[in-house]
Structure 1
Amino acid sequence: MFGIPASEWVGYAASVFVGTSLLMSDMSRLRIINLIGCILFAIYGLWIGAYPVAIMNIFGAGVNVWHLLRLARERRVNAQAR
């Protein structure tokens, strides 16, 4: 579309998600949106053969998942304490 390769569209979408995540004040929302951006950047990196980009974003996705699980656990503990 518009003469831009599909791989670049994935890269642009990833940039939008990561950039948008920086605007979030809610940590869960930030982590979810950033996770989507990391996954898209990992796909983009693999697609174009930029393995350092893919590896770093796979790591970033894992960090986001870890934090989301931690936040969910904290919410459960707080809900039980009430």
Structure 2
Amino acid sequence: MSPEVLWTSFGWLGSLVIVLSLSQTKILRLRVLNLVGCTLAMAYNAPLGVWPTVGLNATLALINVIHLIRLGRLRRRAAAAPAPDAAP
């Protein structure tokens, strides 16, 4: 396989992961997959100089990171919260 075909396949993989992320029903999985897809898309488009797409994916990646941090905090708070008393 030629390097050009491999590189193009890498770009398509990034797009595929982004599309796959949007089909997820669990928000954590959506955010992680979308972050991976955005990172792949940035790595593909930056060497080609496609700066609007790099900027878009960098922004989306940052949004995903912020939401993942918030989700992690919520999970830690929920785990640390005392369980409600069971009704007799």
Structure 1 runs (4+) greater than 2 angstroms displaced: 1-7
Structure 2: distance between partners of 1:70 and 1:78 = 12
How many pairs were matched up?
A: 82
Q: Percent identity?
A: 35
* Other-structure match for 1:67: 67
* Other-structure match for 1:17: 17
Gaps of 5+ in 1: none
Matched, 1:35 2:42: no
Q: Is the 8 A contact 1:41 1:54 kept in 2?
A: yes
How far has the Cα of 1:2 moved from its partner? Answer: 6.4
**TM-score of the superposed pair, with normalisation by structure 1:** 0.90
Structure 1: distance between partners of 2:47 and 2:18 = 18
Provide Cα deviations, 1:7-57, integer angstroms capped at 9, x if missing partner. 312210111100110111111100000000000111111021101111110
How far has the Cα of 1:5 moved from its partner? Answer: 3.3
Gaps of 5+ in 2: 83-88
How far has the Cα of 1:6 moved from its partner? Answer: 3.2
Q: What is the CA RMSD across the aligned residues, in angstroms?
A: 1.5
For the pair shown, the structure with the greater C-alpha radius of gyration is 2
* Other-structure match for 1:7: 7
Structure 1: distance between partners of 2:3 and 2:10 = 14
Q: 1:68 to 1:61 in 2, by over 3 A?
A: same
* Other-structure match for 2:85: none
Structure 2: distance between partners of 1:36 and 1:61 = 8
